[in-house]
Chain A
Amino acid sequence: MYALGVPIAVPDEDADLVRSAIGGDDEAFTELVRRHKGTVLRNAARFARNPAELEDLGQETFLRVYRDLRSFRGDAPFGHWLSRITVHVCYDALRKRRREEKDVSLEVLATPVADPSTGNGPSAQLARMILDQAMSRLKPEDRLVITLFELEDRSVREVAGLTGWSETRVKVRAFRARQTLKRLIGGDDER
């Protein structure tokens, strides 16, 4: 069960399925994937550039889950453990991609965005595109933190739990990411 993408502490209904999957029951693992694919794909979609990449991130997450299932201790809900793996898979993908995106065009970033409450101005789709382009200039750690923090609306503590970093580090990363984004979107990028 999730609220704002964060697992709520309820008796873990997945525990039996996890046990069966460890015992080699493919059907049990299929059921786990079926139950959690929506959450994993929604979280990964914030980091994917296209559906093919989203498919890769999703598959890589569940392959890692399958491989490491024995290391799941069950002291936290399965969904929480899965979210951590998703974040790590996405972070690895960001680091791998970093070199490819150094020369991204920033022309589109000059577009002004209207107040969402008025309903005028560029679409949410365009805002996402602009943000994606600006965020592709961030360091992978900064991008990960700002995505979890601003786009997924998670708290500093949650981000720290998911990434395994300290809360101070998360705050510093979020601050730096905001500064860079403001500079990029405001058109002050010194290139």
Chain B
Amino acid sequence: MNDKRHDRRDVELDRYFALARHAPPDISGVERNFETRVMARIREGREAWYAWAWRLAPVFLALTILLAGWSLSYSPVHPADAVATLASGTQEVALLDNLTGE
């Protein structure tokens, strides 16, 4: 009884599949000029990339100018008397040694 029921269902399902197979979906509307639309999307994607590059160009320009300005204005401290600097350093080390008892 149960097997018969399963057979009936298999047959019924196969009927659905057979009918659906013989009714290929209609693609004519989408197929018309499809390649034109695909190429338009591809070009759109490319143009979007260029557009972003151009949009970011002023930001990069401003960054370059800022960095150039900063590197020109930057002047590290160069003490005139290098011996004095070394000496002061030595004194600090000596003081630390004294304080820590070394």
Contacts and interface: CB of A to CB of B under 8 A. Distances in A.
B9 A46 contact: no
Interface string A85-129: 000000000000000000000000000111110000011110110
17 contacts: A26-B43, A29-B42, A33-B34, A38-B27, A45-B24, A45-B26, A63-B42, A114-B15, A116-B18, A123-B19, A127-B20, A128-B19, A131-B17, A151-B20, A151-B21, A182-B9, A182-B10
Contact of B23 (A33, A41, A124): A124
Interface in A36-56: 37-38, 41-42, 45-46, 48, 51, 54-55
Contacts of A42: 24-25, 27
Interface residues of A, number: 41
A46 B16 contact: no
Contacts of B9: 182, 185-186
Interface in B64-90: none
Interface in B37-59: 37-39, 41-43, 45
Contact of B13 (A59, A62, A178): A178
Contacts of B13: 178, 181-182, 185
